Amino acid sequence: MKKLICAVICLLLVVPSALADTPAKMLTEDEPLYTSLYERSMEMAGLFNEALHSDDYVRLYLTDLSPLEETLGLLRMQDFTQPLDVKIVCTEDILASISFLFSGIAASLDNGALSPALSQLVRQKLYMGTGSVLLSQSSAYEVALANMLSLTDTFIRPEELDGPCFAVMQYGGLYAYLVTFYPTANGTVIATAQFIPSRAVDNLNIPAE
């Protein structure tokens, strides 16, 4: 399992070098796309908060909650429906840190070694896996809970959305909430959401205000 996580981390760290050099853009609250993605983010945060506080939900994945009680307690101290700050950023390069150690992967995405359809699926998979990367240095209990409580949704692509975006919601506590939005070729958007450590927000490609 650790080897798999490491492989995903390596892929996510290198893929930005294969993507377009379009700078990250932070949306403002008066933009229609901000409103649309904000509403989706709040919906997913609300469902996450409901699942988080439901022992019945967690028991769908793990019958004995005792190993997770401490971590659950820390998470339940936050109300994920009441963020203090919500930033929404449109960028293909979601991580600020880039590793060039695996440049062959990046080259494969750019030089036609993979078909356009397969290359697009790889980019989508990597983008949507950012939350797992940001949790890779966390405890096993946090990783387990993140997997249990992660959410995925699909909706019609807004006209204004022409590339991947992410929303990061901060609460002034130990944890933040990350939602990634990835447009597909069939006119839909795949949204993935999970909690991440607040300290990990610094690793995201958020433009300076």
- Crossing angle of the two packed helices 2-14 and 103-110, in degrees rounded to 10: 60
- Provide the 8-state DSSP code for 63: S
AA letter at 193:
A
Q: Which helix (H) or strand (E) holds 119?
A: helix 116-128
pLDDT computed for residue 21 by the predictor:
53
Q: What angle do CA 13, 137, 95 make, to 5 degrees?
A: 25
pLDDT score for 105: 58
Which tens digits make up the pLDDT trace of 32-46?
Answer: 999 999 999 999 999
pLDDT of residue 87: 98
For the chain, what percent of residues have pLDDT higher than 90?
Answer: 56
Lookup result for tokens 């294969």: 18
Position 38 scores a pLDDT of: 98
Task: Give the residue-averaged pLDDT of 71-92.
Answer: 95
Helix, strand, or coil (residue 187):
coil
Q: Is-contact 192 131, C-beta < 8 A?
A: yes
Q: Is pLDDT of 148 > 80? A: yes
Q: What does the pLDDT average to over 131-139?
A: 86
Measured from the Cβ of residue 95, the count of other Cβ atoms closer than 10 Å reads 21
Task: Give the whole-angstrom CA distance, residue 54 versus residue 75.
Answer: 12
Q: How far apart are CA 24 and CA 39, in angstroms?
A: 21
Q: Is the pLDDT of residue 99 over 70?
A: no
- Compare 107 and 4 and report the one with higher pLDDT: 107
Please say if the pLDDT value at position 100 is more than 80: no
Domain ranges of the chain: 2-203
pLDDT band at residue 12 under the 50/70/90 scheme: very low
Residues 188 and 154 sit within 8 Å (Cβ to Cβ): yes
Q: Does residue 144 sit in helix, strand or coil?
A: helix
pLDDT at 123: 80
Indicate whether 159 pLDDT > 90: yes
Has residue 56 got a pLDDT over 80? yes
